[in-house]
Structure 1
Amino acid sequence: MRTVGVEEELLLVDPDSGEPRAQQSAVLARAAQDDPGQDVFQKELFGQMLEFATHPQTDMADLGAEIVHCRKEAARLAGEIGCAVAALATSPLPVTPTIVAHERYRWMTGQYGMTAQEQLICGCHAHVSVASDEEGVAVLDRIRPWLPVLCALSANSPFWHGRDTGYVSYRSRVQRRWPQTGPNELFGSAERYHRLVRDMLASGVVLDSGMLYFDARLSARYPTVELRVADVCLRAETTVLVATLARALVETAARDWRAGRPPLDHSVNLLKLAGWQAARSGLGQDLLDPVTMLPRPAVEVLGSLLEHTGDALADSGDAAFVAEAVAELLRRGNGAHEQRLLMERTGSLRHVVTECVRRTQD
């Protein structure tokens, strides 16, 4: 059974006003005070963010329990300094981001200028174990057209600094401002993947391999494929759904590779259009079908994803959970839908944030 680990980035906010607060250092200090050796909560680019990472898990119920625990711990630590955490992929309210004092972050600010300063966005990254770099690159080649569907499922960033963007995942559009993001052409081998990494590092445009913000990549630290397209999800159960589908996609791709089935040879330009469409309308309208790259109702594309990964989900025992979770997500809507409903009902972005603080921990 492949292991799955999740990294989630949370927004630190004032519990009353909903405005982001640059309290990351204080929260990390409290975490270190409680447990000097803790490695769950981690430093991020902006003081208004807090990241945590789960342990690798094989059982999705265990993964869900750890995500809930980490969110509650983050809320407790933030609450002890008069702050709160919200699983929001962008700030609905205006904010002036505060870049954390760190040599690497200073380099990024000097190198990328305004682009770096605009990146107060919160994502969800799923790490799925692979047996080798060859298997990992074969997986990367085969999951490319399915990644926009995960973006649509997780979409949780309709507002940006006081305005409705017209997108459901504006985070993914902001992230595209980096020069080293998005989908890749087919690699075909681990050697070609690593050659691209070496060439990009030699260019001097990026500092290290951790700055290669591909939609999916080989992790520089773990024997995993890292899927990076998802917004941080408002509800923990949506995070578990994304992680479960990520593992099923990786397992399906690895099986196809071993069976000699080639990847779909879609161009990067088409994949960019599919990512844009997912970020624009999410589950509300059409997505681009991962096989044909033609418009198709989102619910039908979701059905194709479940069919594509059906054997892997059945073998891992996750098929029933995924079917139920997808049905619930379609009934309730993703985080972007919930945020817009809150805004329609209250007319207050402040209320949107404070209510999302509560839903983050539900």
Structure 2
Amino acid sequence: MRTVGVEEELLLVDPVTGAPRALASEVLDRLTKCAVEGDGVPAGVFARELQGQQLEFGTRPQSGMEELGAEIVRWRRVAARHAREAGAALAALATSPLPARPAVNVSHRYQWMEEQFGLTTQEQLTCGCHVHVSVASDDEGVAVVDRIQPWLPVLTALSANSPYWQGTDTLYGSYRSRVWGRWPMSGPTAFFGSAERYHAQVDAMVTSGVVRDRGMIYFDARLSHRYPTVEIRVADVCLEATTTVLVACLARALVETAARDWRSGHEPLRHGVGLLRLAAWRGARSGLDGDLLHPLTMRPAPAQAVTAALLDHLREALDDSGDLAWARKTTAELLARGNGARIQRALYAHTGSLGDVVAACVRHTLGERQLRYPAGERTHPTPST
């Protein structure tokens, strides 16, 4: 079974006002001390991100969704504990609902980015969720990248958790993805056809001087430059850990389905980058509260119908991994309950305070309940609502 790992970027906020606080260095110092002293935090789990108001962690490669969920919950709680000791709270928010003044972390890489991209770098206080799925080779990985592109906006819609930007309702479910799209090396990609063509494109982008290295190739789906994985980068960090696990589960099934289609000689859908960009925009704009573009036809269809089409597309892979019943049940619950964007807007409608929205999201970030598979044989840790 393919392994899957998750990287989550989290927001550090003031525990009283909810405004972002640039305390990542202090929190990481505490986490590093724990790793050195053998306090159950392995070195390398937590990392610095672009802005001082962000903290990132990465899970180990996992084969089971239950184990992946448990690790996500664990590292969220560990990070929150050390954030509290440094004077901050931790929120799984893809953008700050309250006005923020991002503080770019000091490093040669980040300083280069600030000089190269200016305001794009300075304003890029966004938190995403990246899913790594193992592949057997670069050839398989590129075949996967070519075949999953039309389905990726559905993952954006499911994960959408960034309706507010600088204190304003953007009318988007995932405004993070629109801010992220300012990078010139981001977004959907045209058909590659082979690993050779993929690497030639990446090499040409690096040689252009616009990007510093292969780590700055921000395609929606790419070959990881560090691991033997396809890295899917379209999701917001999810308010609830259950949604993160669902996104990872569906991402793995997308990779497996695409790899099987490649081995069987099935050609990918070739909608063209223009249509793929429109589908990505639609997924970010609507989230789960409007039409999406159907991946097969690129025509508008209700979010419920498009997510049903995704599950049908992935049915065989999900069934083989033992995740089909859970994925169907959890997707149905997400559609009924709403993603992070819908929850944030409901909180604001109830309280009238973006500060209160952040405070409630801090609690959502750390919540946990147990949802059983319909067969009652396995459980997945999921946050309470």
Determine if the TM-score, normalized by the shorter chain, exceeds 0.5: yes
Per the TM alignment, residue 38 of structure 1 is displaced from its structure 2 partner at its CA by 1.4
Distance 2:87 2:176 in 1: 27
Structure 1 equivalent of residue 43 of structure 2:
38
Per the TM alignment, residue 301 of structure 1 is displaced from its structure 2 partner at its CA by 0.5
| Counterpart code for 1:279 | A
Per the TM alignment, residue 350 of structure 1 is displaced from its structure 2 partner at its CA by 0.2
Structure 2 equivalent of residue 14 of structure 1:
14
Q: How many residues align?
A: 362
Distance 1:101 1:115 in 2: 16
The one of 272, 277, 296 aligned to 2:277: 272
Structure 1 equivalent of residue 2 of structure 2:
2
TM-score by structure 1 length?
A: 0.99
Structure 2 equivalent of residue 181 of structure 1:
186
Structure 1 equivalent of residue 316 of structure 2:
311
Structure 2 equivalent of residue 297 of structure 1:
302
| Counterpart code for 2:315 | G
| Counterpart code for 2:11 | L
**SS in structure 2 of the partner of residue 35 of structure 1:** helix
**Cα-Cα RMSD:** 0.6
Per the TM alignment, residue 250 of structure 1 is displaced from its structure 2 partner at its CA by 0.2
Distance 2:135 2:95 in 1: 31
Per the TM alignment, residue 283 of structure 1 is displaced from its structure 2 partner at its CA by 1.1
Per the TM alignment, residue 318 of structure 1 is displaced from its structure 2 partner at its CA by 0.3
Map 1:1-362 → 2, pairs under 5 A: 1-36=1-36, 38-362=43-367
Distance 2:24 2:86 in 1: 10
Distance 2:101 2:291 in 1: 35
C-alpha deviations, 1:193-230, integer Å up to 9, x for none?
Answer: 00000000000000011111110000000000000000
C-alpha deviations, 1:311-336, integer Å up to 9, x for none?
Answer: 00000000011011101101110000
Distance 2:347 2:298 in 1: 33
- Identity in percent: 65
Distance 1:295 1:327 in 2: 20
Distance 1:68 1:283 in 2: 24
Question: Any gaps of 5 or more consecutive residues in structure 2?
Answer: 37-41, 368-385
Distance 1:235 1:46 in 2: 22
Question: Any gaps of 5 or more consecutive residues in structure 1?
Answer: none
| Counterpart code for 2:61 | P
TM-score by structure 2 length?
A: 0.94
**SS in structure 2 of the partner of residue 80 of structure 1:** helix
**SS in structure 1 of the partner of residue 183 of structure 2:** coil
Distance 2:299 2:332 in 1: 24
Per the TM alignment, residue 304 of structure 1 is displaced from its structure 2 partner at its CA by 0.5
| Counterpart code for 1:124 | C
C-alpha deviations, 1:245-278, integer Å up to 9, x for none?
Answer: 0000000000000000000011100000000001
Per the TM alignment, residue 189 of structure 1 is displaced from its structure 2 partner at its CA by 0.1
Distance 2:286 2:152 in 1: 15
Per the TM alignment, residue 118 of structure 1 is displaced from its structure 2 partner at its CA by 1.2
